[in-house]
Amino acid sequence: MKAKLKAECSKEKLKYIRGFVKESIEILEATDLEKEQIVLAIDEVCANAIIHGNQTNDTKQIILEIDVTETSLKVDISDIGLYDPEELAGRNKDIADIVKDKQKGGMGLKLVYSIMDNVEYYIKNNMSICSLTKVLK
């Protein structure tokens, strides 16, 4: 099945997006915990697209495209903020240093990379796209 969602860039929309994702990946043959983690990974990328990619400007939209079968998942999240994927490298910072530096952020991409099999960033049609994939064993 293929599911697509366009949502305004406001943080309040995140909970609806999660509900939408939860239902869209329902056919995946994964445990509830695995599905919850996948919802989390997608939530993190959407939050980044809304907050960093579009500065929570709710006249802007993010686009979520989900392609799911019983055993595989591909999700593309697009936002109009054109950023350099190289700058997302913050995810390698040590967790103990994040605590020491009293950071509130910088943990989202760590989760995304841990939960998904593959994470790719690229630019197409003037949109920044984050493409997530996972194949169930």
Ligand X SMILES: Nc1ncnc2c1ncn2[C@@H]1O[C@H](COP(=O)(O)OP(=O)(O)O)[C@@H](O)[C@H]1O
Return residues touching another protein (CB under 8 A). Answer: 11-12, 14-15, 18, 33, 36-37, 40, 43-44, 47, 50-51, 95-96, 98-100, 102-108, 110-111, 114-115
Binding part of the chain for a copy of itself, among 16-24, 36-44, 80-88, 127-135 by CB under 8 A, reads: 16-24
Does 109 interact with ligand X (rule: CB under 6 A)? yes
Is 111 near a copy of itself (CB under 8 A)?
Answer: no
Q: Three-state SS across the chain? A: CEEEEEEECCHHHHHHHHHHHHHHCCCCCCCHHHHHHHHHHHHHHHHHHHHHHCCCCCCCEEEEEEEECCCEEEEEEEECCCCCHHHHHHHHCCHHHHHHCCCCCCCHHHHHHHHCCEEEEEEECCEEEEEEEEECC
Q: Which is nearer to a copy of itself, 56 or 110 (CB)?
A: 56
In the list ligand X, another protein, a copy of itself, none, the entry touching 33 (Cβ below 5 to 8 angstroms by class) is another protein
Tokens 């995810």, located at residue: 91
Pick between residue 32 and residue 86 the one whose CB is nearest to ligand X.
86
Q: Whose structure tokens read 């997006």?
A: 17
- Is the Cβ–Cβ distance between 120 and 131 less than 8 Å? yes
Binding mask 3-42 for ligand X (x = CB under 6 A): ----------------------------------------
Q: Which residues bind a copy of itself (CB under 8 A)?
A: 1-8, 13, 16, 19-20, 22-24, 26-27
